[in-house]
């Protein structure tokens, strides 16, 4: 059977029609986005649908004939919006923010229109060179030493995977990629580190059992002496310490591992050191938080996500490495069809990570950094820090609330401890109930963590356009719901 025959004339006719209609349809979408931004605060922050609610409204098969754009937009409102948790709502205080900004959204529209696949310099020189420059802008603004060079990845998970794979190759004389992975490599992170590390250790063939979680102190920071003891024990048992990951801002409680001390141990035992600053990294733009990366010069790689707290919509993760040659040696595969005359003269970023295909993510960083300026970004971050202090202070006016840690950056971790004799288990249940009650109001969305077995509510204030009124609103919701649950 040959290929199905498509009438070339008909095909061209349809796509030309759609192109001509672009402005008309784009105006509708622009209007839709503007309306969305304006009504965002009136929508429930956390989607209130039940499992299957959306699926049941979608036809089981794709339409045979094309539908009108107005029909699609109508269903966007009717079917999709109710099933969206609104991450850009100013009362989204859950997980870590994945904030955006008008500038970033506009840049993303341009990126989509250009539709470039930026795998190598030749496939869009501007994308490669803008990326190179953006990485330098960020490196300088964040106080990362000039021994590091950056590259954009989709997510911190991918960057961490790339880092652990590189560590594996370095430790095995670049042989694992060729002949497979020895089963005695060991990777270390704290018991509070992000799950992406566990995933990466599994995927890269080192094996999850070879990920050793190191104990933390009362502030949930990795204990360096425990790391060193574990390394010594592992060596004595025939294991090969390969990689350690220090967290600058753990997901549960935003703990900052002591990088400098961890770095010294890694140097001593020739262990690759990766720094996961996925969320808190943005705070390095503020000079007063640079202490968090004291000792960064000892690290081999570092990741942070502008798509979390730097007003750049998902996805955009920045990965800095000290030895680019080592990185590209691990990830370079050069088939005939990707050979170019510019090779070696330019950055072909496909060699700097896992996927071949790459989106033009540098454009939104450029739009954001130029329109805000570094001082505008800092100002907004400081506003979030101030709102966090305000939130914590106001919350503590009610003696039934306890903080588990001093508020740090834009993060508060608290729990409700009403007067009376409650067991830890009862307090946990009560706080779980409180959180469910808050979220089911639709007025705010918060999530939880457990700190030494204690169920605690996490409150992040990281939305681009959040104001004091939103903090007052969430306080109001919390106070009202405690009345309802006891």
Q: Given the rule CB under 6 A, which residues bind ligand PLP?
A: 96, 155-157, 194, 196, 247, 249-251, 276, 278-279, 305, 317
CB proximity list for 15: less than 8 A, separation 6 or greater? none
Q: Which is nearer to ligand PLP, 123 or 191 (CB)?
A: 191
By the 8 A CB rule, do 192 and 253 touch? yes
Instruction: Specify the 3-state DSSP secondary structure of 448.
Output: strand
Work out how close the CB of 168 gets to ligand PLP at its nearest, in angstroms, rounded to a whole number: 19
Q: Which is nearer to ligand PLP, 44 or 249 (CB)?
A: 249
Q: Which is nearer to ligand PLP, 163 or 464 (CB)?
A: 163
By the 8 A CB rule, do 71 and 97 touch? no
Q: Which is nearer to ligand PLP, 86 or 443 (CB)?
A: 86
Q: Which is nearer to ligand PLP, 96 or 391 (CB)?
A: 96
Work out how close the CB of 96 gets to ligand PLP at its nearest, in angstroms, rounded to a whole number: 5
Beta strand 401-403 with 211-214 is unpaired
Work out how close the CB of 238 gets to ligand PLP at its nearest, in angstroms, rounded to a whole number: 31
Give the count of beta carbons closer than 10 Å to the beta carbon of residue 418.
13
Work out how close the CB of 360 gets to ligand PLP at its nearest, in angstroms, rounded to a whole number: 18
CA distance 17 to 14: 5
Q: Which is nearer to ligand PLP, 108 or 276 (CB)?
A: 276
Work out how close the CB of 283 gets to ligand PLP at its nearest, in angstroms, rounded to a whole number: 13
CA distance 6 to 378: 55
Report the DSSP beta bridge partners of residue 451: 454
Report the DSSP beta bridge partners of residue 346: 343
Work out how close the CB of 251 gets to ligand PLP at its nearest, in angstroms, rounded to a whole number: 4
Q: Which two tokens stand for residue 37?
A: 């931004």
Nearest to 234 by CA among 262, 263, 271, 204: 271
Work out how close the CB of 130 gets to ligand PLP at its nearest, in angstroms, rounded to a whole number: 21
Q: Which is nearer to ligand PLP, 173 or 195 (CB)?
A: 195
Beta strand 272-276 with 411-416 is unpaired
Q: Which two tokens stand for residue 332?
A: 């370079």
């Amino acid at each position: 059977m040959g290929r199905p025959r498509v009438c070339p004339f008909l095909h061209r006719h349809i796509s030309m029609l759609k192109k001509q209609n672009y402005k008309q349809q784009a105006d509708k979408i622009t209007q839709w986005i503007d309306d969305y931004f304006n009504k965002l605060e009136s929508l429930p922050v956390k989607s209130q649908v039940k499992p299957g609610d959306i699926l049941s409204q979608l036809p089981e098969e794709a339409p045979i004939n094309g539908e009108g754009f107005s029909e699609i937009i109508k269903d966007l409102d009717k079917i999709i919006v109710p099933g969206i948790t609104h991450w850009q709502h100013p009362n989204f205080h859950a997980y870590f923010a994945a904030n955006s900004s008008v500038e970033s959204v506009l840049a993303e529209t341009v990126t989509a229109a250009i539709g470039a696949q930026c795998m190598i310099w030749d496939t869009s020189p501007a994308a490669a060179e803008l990326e190179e420059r953006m990485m330098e802008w960020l490196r300088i603004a964040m106080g990362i030493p000039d021994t590091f060079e950056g590259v954009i990845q989709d997510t911190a998970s991918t960057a961490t995977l790339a880092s652990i794979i590189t560590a594996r190759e370095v430790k095995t004389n670049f042989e694992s990629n060729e002949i497979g992975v020895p089963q005695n490599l060991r990777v270390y992170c704290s018991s509070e580190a992000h799950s992406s590390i566990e995933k990466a250790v599994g995927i890269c063939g080192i094996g999850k059992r070879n990920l050793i979680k190191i104990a933390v102190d009362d502030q949930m920071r990795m204990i360096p002496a425990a790391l060193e003891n574990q390394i010594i024990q592992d060596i004595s048992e025939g294991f090969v310490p390969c990689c350690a990951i220090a967290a600058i801002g753990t997901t549960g409680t935003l703990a900052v591992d002591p990088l400098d001390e961890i770095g010294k141990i890694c140097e001593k035992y020739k262990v690759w050191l990766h720094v996961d600053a996925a969320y808190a990294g943005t705070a390095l733009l503020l000079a007063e938080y640079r202490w968090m990366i004291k000792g960064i010069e000892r690290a081999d790689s570092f990741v942070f996500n502008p798509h979390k707290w730097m007003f750049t919509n998902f996805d955009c993760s920045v990965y800095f490495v000290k030895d680019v040659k080592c990185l590209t040696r691990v990830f370079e595969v050069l088939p005939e069809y990707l050979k170019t005359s510019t090779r070696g003269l330019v950055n072909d970023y496909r060699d700097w990570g896992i996927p071949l295909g790459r989106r033009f993510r540098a454009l939104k960083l450029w739009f954001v950094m130029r329109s805000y300026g570094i001082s505008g970004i800092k100002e907004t971050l400081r506003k979030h820090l101030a709102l966090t202090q305000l939130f914590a202070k106001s919350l503590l006016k009610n003696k039934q609330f306890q903080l588990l840690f001093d508020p740090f950056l834009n993060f508060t971790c608290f729990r409700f401890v009403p007067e009376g004799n409650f067991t830890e288990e009862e307090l946990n249940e009560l706080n779980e109930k409180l959180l469910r009650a808050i979220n089911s109001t639709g007025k705010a969305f918060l999530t939880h963590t457990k700190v030494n077995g204690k169920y605690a509510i996490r409150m992040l204030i990281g939305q681009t356009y959040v104001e004091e009124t939103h903090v007052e609103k969430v306080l109001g919701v919390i106070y009202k719901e405690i009345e309802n649950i006891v």
